[in-house]
Amino acid sequence: MDKKIDITNAQRAQVLVEALPYIKKYYNKIIVVKYGGNAMINEDLKEAVMGDIVLLSLIGIKVVLVHGGGPEITEMLGKIGKKSEFVNGLRVTDQESVDIVQMVLAGKINKNLVNLLENKGGKAIGLCGIDGHMIKAKQLDPKLGYVGEITDVNVEPILDVLEKGYIPVVSTVGYDEEGHTYNINADTAAARIAGQLKCESLISMTDIDGILRDKDDPSTLISKINVSDAPQLVREGIISGGMIPKVNCCIEAIRQGVGKVFIIDGRIPHSILVETLTDEGIGTMFVSENGYGH
């Protein structure tokens, strides 16, 4: 655990005063948090993230939590003797696997997160992409099986839950009109949901500091990227590998009308609060051509 830092009451008051403009800016606005990576596996970090989301909710910010759950799906498939196969970072999902995906994401993980939020003093309701026909999908590639490409997003169920004062917790499984269930990439789903909601910001939690000019040097963090500059960063190899689809999702969200998109390091305790309510912020922020930010 972190070493306890003694701060005076005056310092506490100063922190709250500095947060005030941000509380005001985000009050009654919607932010989408894409939750995944180490922050989802490490129990201490999980507790901290849920506490942060409840805090934001209690000060009048409408938080939508969108989650994946890759490691837990892999673990459950292993228990029934199925090996996980990936093609370009996407899980090959046959009929038996998609049943497990639905069970783990929409059942176990989703309800555990709802329970945690409630126990932290929040009000939460779990949804999955099938509820209210929220995430409509079609098969992305026959080789991948039941991996879905989103064709339509209906955010009415999310808005209804927010309207009643609850935190919607959304697991990323989709449906089609033939009754099939699809495994949906959580980054893609979060970006599409954020775009449909035209929310104030999308915060994507990852296991890296953000976009680094030199991947081995945290001091080279790029704190702000204009979406029009992103292709050049890909050409230069600064954005590469598994970050390319994540960044594409960020760009898509901005193009759909999301105010700002952040990629932040979910391994840092309270990273959501630092990004949302302080002058410094952490991670990398994506903005549109006429973008604004911290």
Catalytic residue IDs: 34, 37, 70, 187, 246
- CA distance linking residue 227 with residue 219, whole number of Å: 22
- CA distance linking residue 216 with residue 16, whole number of Å: 34
Single out the residue of 104, 288, 114 nearest to residue 202, CA to CA: 288
Paired tokens of 284: 């990398």
Rounded to 5°, the CA angle 251-252-258 comes to 85
Paired tokens of 96: 């038996």
Paired tokens of 275: 């990004």
Pairing type for strands 260-265 and 86-87 reads unpaired
Radius of gyration from C-alpha coordinates of the chain: 19
- CA distance linking residue 216 with residue 195, whole number of Å: 32
Rounded to 5°, the CA angle 172-175-177 comes to 165
Burial 97-117 (b: 16+ CB within 10 A, else e): bbebbbebbbeebbeebbebb
Neighbours of 214 (CB within 10 A): 10
